[in-house]
Amino acid sequence: GAGVSQSPSNKVTEKGKDVELRCDPISGHTALYWYRQSLGQGLEFLIYFQGNSAPDKSGLPSDRFSAERTGGSVSTLTIQRTQQEDSAVYLCASSLRRLNTGELFFGEGSRLTVL
């Protein structure tokens, strides 16, 4: 499709399990972002990839969170040993180039529920 694609759209897991969330950005977009949105809250920045540069991981809340972007396209966000406070919607966005010269295009998110 033409937009940002995320999978799964919904994931229910048990506390302590690992989860992987996938993002397929818009073709040609060099910048890719992961955000977390808790119920009724704003968007919390997690990690940013720009081309082949080292990612900006400054928003990752703990070392249980990691992300990679293979071949400058698809990205996977991994949460190890999930906790109940990890329950949220995880949003991926991409943009044609660095911010301030373009807008972010968001996917519909992956809703994670940790029981």
Partner 1 sequence: GESVGLHLPTLSVQEGDNSIINCAYSNSASDYFIWYKQESGKGPQFIIDIRSNMDKRQGQRVTVLLNKTVKHLSLQIAATQPGDSAVYFCAEDPGYSTLTFGKGTMLLVSP
The reply to whether 72 sits near partner 1 by the rule CB under 8 A is no
The DSSP line for 13-34 is: E-TT--EEEEEE--TT--EEEE
Nearer to partner 1, 18 or 108 (CB): 108
**Of residues 6, 93, 21, 20, the one with CA closest to residue 50:** 93
Tell me the closest approach of the beta carbon of residue 18 to partner 1, in angstroms.
24
The reply to whether 88 sits near partner 1 by the rule CB under 8 A is no
Helix (H, G, I), strand (E, B) or coil at 112: strand
Instruction: Tell me the window of 12-20, 34-42, 60-68, 70-78 that interacts with partner 1 (CB under 8 A).
Output: 34-42
Residues in region 1-30 near partner 1 by CB under 8 A: 4
Dist CA 41 CA 87 (whole Å):
13
- How many separate helices (H) and strands (E) can be counted in the chain? 0, 10
Q: Which residues bind partner 1 (CB under 8 A)?
A: 4, 33, 35, 39-43, 45, 48, 50, 56, 59, 91, 93, 98-100, 103-109
